[in-house]
């Protein structure tokens, strides 16, 4: 188990290095190849030559790409100093870059936005797991019933309707129409009650999409498993149906669900862009959307790395959980 | 139990029905009146604040004025900000020697003393400007604002390598040779080494211009000429918490999320003839979703949009139908246009440029921009109506709003023949990919040009890289961008503040170029030179008109619209008016509320 963990962590670290290098090339090298001067996009419409040069100097854009990547890596562990034009900015470790648009180090911005996104992703995940998996299991068990058809129609709607539609609709009805919710985000630390009520609509909206997908996957997997020999054997042995479902069918069904959950949670923690944007939640997704709009490359790079980290971490957790759920899996 | 369950279902059904009904009637509940004469809820009426003051007598001291916005400022540092709304908002926490009058419409574009006791004493043939500071002007810690603070604030414009982004007119006018290196590289002990400004005492400041510039006072009215105190200068981080010289100070700011200003208790009304400082508190909430912002405005959660660039199409439609009394439809001061870089063949030929001007369907272009209300009047020339010397639609040399408004194919073909391309030609239209309206305009232009034999393909480039892509003449030539879709508004309301970077050959730059047409016309350059030495307003207006005529005669531009937009003001607002000083925006600094609660 320990060897397995060390191996996986090492692989994750290598993967991160590759991701950082690729992300750097995409954001800093590709525009250069296309003949676009990145520095000039940071300095406003008059683009004074001194201003362009100042940005180039501070960001080290004149250095070879490997030097830039190395400086970035070093910054994560020992911090980094940006100097130019008589101004010196120190970005403390872990330095994930510095935004020359908002004049802020990226790491504090990410840590400030992260709890919002984490709260959104986890709350929605709880909802969609309860609703999606239950609906899927029930549909599989009552295949062809009115319940099954109804649940699958709702699931189809959930998958088909984009979040910005369901989100705007729920805002129009419950915030602007019925005034049941304020629609304003309040940090958990300021007021847990208001935080909870403020998160209900985003949770439900996000969970609606995912619950629909999970219901369909659960139903399909469950139906396939219910036809397996070992289920027939269990039933032939005289086990009660709830035991067969809970102890045998559910365990196998949960394996692909868990894989999906790991991937989805990882990606969502990197930013639920549409949900956060629709409900104006100040999380990572909204931050990266604003950064894309403002072409704030350091923020985009920072959020991309956080997303990658979250996906890698979530996958690692999922792999470990496999062994817990399915005794056939051995971590070696 | 069964009965209860049935009752619950019934309740749910009723709730759902109520929800749908509420959704359909939400907007109708909020605003009331749908006519031009005001609403039951107290909105002043359609266009009631457009170039006139609405509900001035209803204003009360106190309360919280709530702004919303879809876009944060580029910077709140007075040296670095370039967005129009930032300049407007900055008057809450910064003062200048002179500023625009707090009057509606054209009156707002006239200058009035702010920190100074009067307008400049101009001597030496327009090369020396002298000001005396008022008594009682203070910083937020109560210390007096001195002439040295004003000089230091202006010197910061020279530190472009640290404080990029803002306008650099002061640098160009006071130090055209670029001899001064900025306060951060200044070797003098007091860091006040800029030779063009003298501060003989704490109350007096004297500007020595190497060459006269008749708009110098307009340039001093920009927020980039605000005082900054040396010991409070946090350099590149100053925009996160500027030190206030105005009636409000920064309480909190989280970029892209929110901004709160509270009263600066050291500010004295008696020292400030411009600002009334009605509200106790000013809040700004930033939204990533423009539709939600509009919904919040319609719902009454917010008072106005800080960006002042008009409502989104959805919000606009609802507002025009059900809340018309809360809307104003001012001219923005922007002109939306296509420009023809002369480096790209065949646009080096005047007749080929004119073929495009005649061939375009101007009504269709106006529709693509949003129509006459949300888009603006058909643009007939290149000088915004708010700029002195402009003639509006009266000057229409190509009859774009007249006989040729739907395009004149015959005339376009004549021009094609004259330019040696009787069968038309192919070209590329460059348009920013982050501006859907501009993309729609490009498509409209493409369709109408096809009728005259001009095949234009559209290239949507990364809009956030505008300065690097179309601001580089060599790149424009390499990519063959014969037509560039753009828009421009005045930095200050004069022909210099609007047209100098667009039309003067001195402004053809290898990077960050805005003279996209690469106009190198000695007559135009000469008129600008003449303009800056002309001190009387009538003479300046006349030259402005001549410059506009020269630009139009050259056929460098195809104007689409004199832009207009639809802006929202809440029922709570009082003393509201649009001003030409900020291109048709509401004048933020003296907005008030009808109730302090």
Higher pLDDT, B214 or B23: B214
Closest Cα of chain A to B467: distance in Å?
6
Structure-block tokens of residue B514: 């805005």
Q: Is A314 exposed, middle or buried (0-12, 13-18, 19+ CB in 10 A)?
A: buried
What pLDDT sits at residue B412?
96
B254-330+568-593: CATH topology: D-Maltodextrin-Binding Protein; domain 2 (3.40.190)
For CA atoms A65, A67, A73, A79, the dihedral sign is: negative
A35/B contact by beta carbon, under 8 A: yes
For B174-190, write each residue's pLDDT tens digit: 999 999 999 999 999 99
d(CA B95, CA B153): 11
Same fold, B254-330+568-593 and B334-564: no
**Per-residue confidence band for B554, with pLDDT thresholds at 50, 70 and 90:** very high
B40 pLDDT higher than 60: no
- Interface probe for A, chosen from B241, B288, B472 (most Cβ of A below 10 Å), is B288
Q: Point out the least confidently predicted range of A34-48, B306-320, B453-467.
A: A34-48
Burial class (CB in 10 A: 0-12, 13-18, 19+), B310: buried
| Closest CA–CA distance from residue A222 to any residue of chain B (Å) | 31
| Closest by CA position to B552, among listed B331, B376, B335, B330 | B335
A180 in the same domain as A144: yes
Mean pLDDT within A72-88: 86
On whether any CB of chain B is under 8 Å from the CB of A79, the answer is: no
Instruction: Find the mean pLDDT for residues A16-45.
Output: 76
Tokens of A267: 């990606």
In contact, B565 and B332? CB cutoff 8 Å? yes
- Least confident residue range of A178-187, B86-95, B295-304: A178-187
Q: Are residues A150 and A277 in the same domain?
A: yes
Residue A117 lies inside a defined structural domain of this protein: yes
- Domain assignment of residue A201, yes or no: yes
**Rg of chain A over CA atoms, in angstroms?**
24
Task: Give a three-class secondary structure readout of B144-193.
Answer: ECCHHHHHHHHHHHHCCCCCCCCCCHHHHHHCCCCCCCCHHHCCCCCCCC
pLDDT band at A330 (very low <50, low <70, confident <90, very high): low
Answer yes or no: is pLDDT of A1 > 80.
Answer: no
A138 with A214, same domain?
yes
The confidence band for A116, taking pLDDT boundaries of 50, 70 and 90, is very high
Would you call B299 and A176 a contact, using CB atoms and an 8 Å cutoff? yes
Beta-strand ranges (E) seen in chain A are: 80-84, 87-91, 98-99, 104-105
DSSP B473-499: HHHHHHHTEEEEEEEE--SSSSHHHHH
The better pLDDT of the pair B14, B281 is held by B281
| Alpha carbons B186 and B194: distance in angstroms, whole number | 9
Q: To the nearest whole angstrom, how far is the Cα of B124 from the nearest Cα of chain A?
A: 30
Whether A23 has a pLDDT exceeding 70, the answer reads: yes
285-324 of B, contacting A, C-beta below 8 A: 287-289, 291-292, 295, 298-299
Q: What is the pLDDT of residue A179?
A: 85
Report, as an integer, the average pLDDT of B67-96.
94
Chain A residues touching residue B184 (CB < 8 angstroms): 85-87
Instruction: Identify whether residues A135 and A202 lie together within a single domain.
Output: yes
Query: Which residues does B63 contact at the CB level (< 8 Å), separation at least 6?
Result: B278, B279, B280, B281, B572, B593, B595, B596, B597
Distance from CA of B73 to the nearest CA of A (A): 9
Average pLDDT over residues B217-233: 97
Q: Is the pLDDT of residue A261 over 50?
A: yes
A105 has which bridge partners?
Answer: A98
Q: Is B230 helix (H, G, I), strand (E, B) or coil?
A: helix
Say if residue A86 is in the same domain as residue A129: no
Class of domain B334-564: alpha beta
Please say if the pLDDT value at position B7 is more than 60.
Answer: no
Q: What value does the mean pLDDT take over residues B272-283?
A: 97
φ/ψ of A254, rounded to 5, equals: -70, -20
Contact A43 B467 (CB under 8 A): yes
The structure tokens listed for B339 are 């420009």
Is B499:B396 a contact under the CB 8 Å cutoff?
A: no
pLDDT for B520-540, tens place per residue?
Answer: 999 999 999 999 999 899 999
Pinpoint the alpha helices (H) of B323-472. Answer: 350-359, 362-368, 371-374, 409-418, 436-450, 466-469
Q: Which residue among A31, A60, A95 closes a domain? A: A95
Average of per-residue pLDDT across B374-398:
95
User: Exposed e or buried b for every residue in B560-596, given b needs 16+ CB within 10 A?
Assistant: bbbbbbbbbbbbbbbbbbbbbbbbbbbbbbbbbbbee
**For residue B567, what is the enclosing H or E element?**
strand B567-568
Domain total of chain A? 2
pLDDT at A332: 62
Do the domain assignments include residue A270?
A: yes
What are the φ/ψ torsions at residue B564 (nearest 5 degrees)? Answer: -130, 160
Residues 47-106 of B with CB under 8 A from A: 71-72, 74-75, 80, 82
Residues A212 and A306 in one domain: yes
Residue B122 in contact with residue B129, Cβ under 8 Å? yes
Q: What is the CATH number of domain B71-246?
A: 3.40.190.10
Band of residue B38 on the pLDDT scale cut at 50, 70, 90: low
Write down the residue that tokens 């935004």 correspond to: A99
B455: β partners: B426
Percent of chain A with pLDDT over 90: 23
Provide the whole-model pTM: 0.85
pLDDT band at B28 (very low <50, low <70, confident <90, very high): very low
- SS3 state of residue A85: coil
Distance between CA A265 and CA A243 in Å, rounded? 30
For residue A73, being part of any structural domain is answered with: yes
Residue B288 has pLDDT above 60, yes or no: yes
Residue pair B394/B378 in contact by the 8 Å Cβ criterion: no
Please calculate the CA angle B516-B521-B523 and round it to the nearest 5 degrees.
140
Q: What is the mean pLDDT of chain A?
A: 85
Interface of B with A in 333-372 (CB under 8 A): none
CA distance B580 to B569: 18
| Tens of pLDDT, residues B419-466 | 999 999 999 999 988 788 899 999 999 999 999 999 999 999 877 677
User: Is the same domain home to A32 and A151?
Assistant: no
Angle among Cα B511, B514, B519 to the nearest 5 degrees reads: 110
Q: What is the pLDDT of residue B330?
A: 95
Judged against a pLDDT cut of 50, whether residue B19 lies above it is answered with: no
Are A38 and A139 within one domain? no
Q: Report the percentage of chain A scoring pLDDT > 70.
A: 95
Average pLDDT of B330-348?
95
Shortest distance, CA A227 to any CA of chain B (angstroms):
37
- Whether pLDDT at B22 is above 70: no
What average pLDDT does range B26-37 have in this prediction? Answer: 40
What is the dihedral sign for C-alpha B168, B169, B174, B177? positive
Per-residue confidence (pLDDT) for residue B289, from 0 to 100: 81
| Contact yes or no for A93/B197 (Cβ under 8 A) | no
Mean predicted confidence (pLDDT) in A279-286: 90
CA A96, A101, A106: angle at the middle one, nearest 5? 20
Same domain? A161 vs A203: yes
The pairs formed by B509-512 with CB atoms below 8 angstroms and a separation of 24 or more are B509/A47, B509/B471, B510/B472, B510/B473, B510/B474, B511/A37, B511/A40, B511/A47, B511/A49, B511/A52, B511/B467, B511/B468, B511/B471, B511/B472, B512/A40, B512/A43, B512/A45, B512/A46, B512/A47, B512/A48, B512/A49, B512/A52, B512/B467, B512/B471
Per-residue pLDDT tens over the stretch B127-163: 999 999 999 999 999 999 999 999 999 999 999 989 9
The answer to whether residue B48 scores a pLDDT higher than 90 is yes
Confidence of residue A43 (pLDDT cuts 50, 70, 90): confident
Q: What is the mean pLDDT of residues B86-107?
A: 97
The separation between CA B203 and the C-alpha centre of its own chain, rounded to angstroms, equals 32
Q: Pull the structure tokens for residue A53.
A: 């040069």
- Contact partners, residue B283, CB within 8 Å, separation at least 6: B64, B65, B66, B67, B258, B259, B260, B261
First vs last Cα of chain A: how many Å apart?
6
Q: What number of other Cβ atoms are within 10 A of residue A169's Cβ?
A: 14
What is the spatial distance between Cα A74 and Cα A53, in angstroms, rounded to a whole number? 23
The pLDDT-based confidence of B364 (bands split at 50, 70, 90) is: very high
- Confidence at residue B570, expressed as pLDDT on a 0 to 100 scale: 96
Would you say residue A181 has pLDDT above 60? yes
Are A202 and A243 found together in one domain? yes
Q: Is the pLDDT of residue B230 over 90?
A: yes
Q: Residue B10: its pLDDT value, please? A: 41
- Residue B69 pairs in a beta bridge with B286
Place of tokens 């003067």: B504
Instruction: Read off the tokens for A225.
Output: 């498993």
pLDDT of residue B324: 94
Q: Could you give the percent of chain B with pLDDT greater than 70? A: 93
Structural domain contains residue A103: no
Residue A278 lies in a domain: yes
Q: Please report, in angstroms and rounded to a whole number, the separation of the first and last CA atoms in chain B.
A: 48
Contact B292 A87 (CB under 8 A): no
3-state secondary structure of B454: coil
Domain that holds residue A28: 2-95
Interface contact flag, B162 A84, Cβ < 8 Å: yes
Residue B30 pLDDT exceeds 60: no
Q: Which of A40, A86, A174 sits opposite B162 (nearest CB)?
A: A86
* Of A95, A130, A153, the domain-final residue: A95
Is the omega angle on the peptide bond into residue B346 within 30 degrees of 0, that is, cis?
yes
Q: What is the CATH number of the domain that holds A291?
A: 1.10.3720.10
Instruction: State residue B408 phi and psi, 5-degree precision.
Output: -125, 95
Which uninterrupted H or E stretch holds B551?
helix B537-553
Domain final residue pick, A41, A69, A95:
A95
Both tokens assigned to B442: 């490009």
**Residue among A310, A311, A332, A309 nearest A320 (CA):** A332
Query: What is residue B132's three-state secondary structure?
Result: strand
Rounded to the nearest 10 degrees, the angle between the axes of helix B290-299 and helix B2-31 is 90
Q: Does B596 touch chain A (CB under 8 A)?
A: no
Q: What's the rounded Cα separation, in Å, for the pair B364 and B381?
A: 17
Q: Is the pLDDT of residue B86 over 90?
A: yes
Upstream peptide bond of A94 is cis (omega within 30 degrees of 0): yes
Residue A191 CB contacts under 8 Å (≥ 6 apart), including other chains? none
The yes-or-no verdict on residue A35 having pLDDT over 80 is no
A33 and A143 co-located in one domain: no
Say if residues B45 and B36 touch (Cβ distance below 8 Å).
Answer: yes
Domain locations along chain B: 71-246, 254-330+568-593, 334-564
Which residues make beta-bridge pairs with B204? B132, B201
Same domain, yes or no, for A26 and A168?
no
In the prediction, which pLDDT does B18 show? Answer: 40
Question: pLDDT above 90 covers what percent of chain B?
Answer: 81
pLDDT value at A171 more than 50: yes
């Amino acid at each position: 188990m320990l060897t397995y963990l060390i191996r996986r962590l090492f692989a994750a670290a290598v993967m991160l290095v590759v991701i950082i290098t690729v992300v750097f090339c995409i954001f800093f090298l590709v525009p250069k190849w296309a003949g676009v001067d990145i520095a000039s996009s940071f300095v406003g419409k008059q683009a004074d030559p001194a201003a362009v040069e100042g940005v180039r100097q501070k960001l080290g854009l004149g250095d070879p790409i490997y030097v830039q990547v190395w400086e970035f890596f070093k910054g994560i562990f020992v911090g980094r100093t940006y100097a130019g034009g008589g101004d010196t900015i120190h970005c403390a470790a872990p330095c994930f870059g510095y935004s020359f648009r908002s004049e802020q180090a990226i790491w504090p911005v990410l840590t400030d936005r992260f709890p919002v996104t984490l709260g959104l992703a986890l709350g929605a995940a709880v909802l969609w797991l309860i609703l999606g998996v239950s609906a899927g299991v029930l549909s599989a068990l009552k295949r062809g019933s009115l319940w099954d058809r109804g649940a699958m129609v709702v699931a189809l709607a959930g998958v088909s309707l984009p979040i910005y539609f369901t989100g705007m609709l729920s805002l129009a009805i419950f915030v602007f129409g019925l005034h049941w919710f304020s629609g304003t985000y309040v940090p958990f630390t300021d007021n847990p009650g208001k935080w909870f009520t403020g998160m209900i609509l985003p949770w439900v909206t996000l969970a609606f999409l995912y619950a629909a997908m999970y219901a369909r996957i659960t139903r399909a997997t469950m139906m396939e498993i219910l036809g397996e020999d070992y289920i027939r054997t269990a039933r032939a042995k005289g086990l009660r149906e709830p035991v067969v479902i809970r102890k045998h069918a559910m365990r196998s069904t949960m394996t692909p669900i868990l894989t999906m959950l790991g991937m989805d949670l990882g990606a969502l923690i990197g930013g639920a862009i549409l949900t956060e944007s629709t409900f104006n939640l100040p999380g990572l997704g909204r931050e990266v959307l604003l950064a894309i709009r403002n072409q704030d490359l350091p923020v985009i790079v920072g959020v991309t790395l956080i997303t990658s980290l979250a996906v890698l971490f979530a996958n690692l957790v999922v792999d470990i959980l496999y062994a817990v759920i399915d005794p056939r899996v051995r971590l070696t | 139990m069964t009965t209860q369950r049935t009752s619950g279902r019934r309740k749910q059904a009723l709730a759902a029905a109520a929800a749908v009904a509420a959704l359909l009637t939400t907007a109708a509940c909020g605003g009331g009146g749908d006519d031009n004469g005001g609403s039951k809820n107290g909105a002043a009426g359609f266009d009631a604040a457009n170039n006139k003051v609405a509900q001035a007598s209803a204003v009360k001291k106190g309360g919280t004025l709530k702004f919303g916005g879809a876009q944060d400022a580029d910077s709140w540092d007075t040296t670095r900000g370039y967005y129009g709304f930032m300049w407007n908002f900055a008057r809450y926490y910064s003062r200048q020697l002179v500023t625009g009058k707090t009057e509606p419409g054209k009156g707002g574009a006239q200058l009035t003393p702010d920190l100074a006791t009067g307008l400049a004493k101009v001597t030496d043939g327009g090369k020396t400007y002298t000001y005396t500071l008022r008594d009682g002007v203070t910083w937020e810690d109560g210390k007096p604002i001195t002439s040295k603070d004003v000089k230091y604030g202006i010197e910061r414009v020279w530190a472009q390598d640290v404080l990029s982004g803002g306008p650099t007119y002061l640098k160009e006018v006071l130090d055209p040779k670029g001899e001064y290196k900025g306060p951060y590289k200044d070797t003098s002990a007091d860091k006040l080494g800029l030779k063009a400004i003298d501060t003989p005492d704490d109350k007096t400041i004297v500007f020595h211009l190497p060459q006269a510039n008749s708009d110098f006072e307009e340039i001093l009215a920009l927020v980039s000429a605000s005082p900054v105190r040396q010991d409070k200068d946090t350099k590149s981080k100053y925009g996160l918490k500027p030190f206030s010289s105005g009636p409000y100070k920064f309480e909190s700011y989280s970029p892209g999320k929110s901004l709160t200003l509270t009263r600066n208790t050291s500010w004295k009304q008696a020292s400030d003839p411009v600002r009334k400082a009605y509200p106790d508190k000013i809040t700004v909430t930033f939204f990533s979703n423009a539709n939600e912002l509009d919904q919040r405005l319609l719902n009454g959660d917010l008072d106005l949009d800080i960006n002042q660039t008009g409502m989104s199409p959805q919000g606009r439609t609802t507002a025009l139908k059900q809340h018309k009394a809360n809307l104003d439809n001012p001219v923005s001061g922007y002109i939306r246009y296509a420009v023809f870089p002369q480096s790209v063949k065949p646009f080096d030929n005047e007749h080929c440029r004119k073929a495009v001007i005649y061939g375009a369907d101007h009504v269709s272009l106006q529709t693509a921009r949003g129509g006459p209300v949300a888009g603006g009047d058909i643009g007939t020339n290149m000088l915004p109506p708010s700029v002195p010397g402009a003639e509006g639609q009266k000057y229409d040399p190509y009859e774009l709003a007249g006989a040729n408004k739907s395009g004149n194919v015959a005339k376009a073909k004549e021009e094609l023949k004259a330019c040696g391309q009787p069968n038309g030609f192919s070209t590329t239209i460059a348009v920013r990919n982050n501006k859907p309206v501009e993309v729609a305009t490009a498509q409209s232009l493409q369709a109408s040009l096809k009728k005259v034999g001009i095949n234009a393909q559209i290239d949507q480039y990364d809009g956030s890289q505008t300065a690097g892509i179309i601001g580089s003449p060599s790149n424009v030539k390499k990519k063959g961008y014969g037509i560039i879709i753009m828009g421009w508004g005045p930095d200050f309301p004069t022909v210099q503040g609007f047209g100098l970077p667009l039309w003067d050959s001195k402004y053809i730059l290898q990077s960050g170029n805005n003279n996209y047409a690469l106009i190198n016309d000695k007559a135009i350059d000469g008129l600008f030179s003449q303009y800056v030495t002309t001190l009387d307003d009538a003479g300046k207006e006349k030259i402005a008109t001549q410059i506009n005529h020269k630009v139009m005669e050259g056929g460098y531009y195809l104007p689409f619209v004199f832009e207009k937009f639809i802006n929202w003001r809440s029922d709570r607002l009082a003393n509201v008016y649009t001003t030409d000083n900020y291109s048709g925006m509401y004048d933020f600094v003296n907005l008030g509320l009808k109730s302090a609660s």
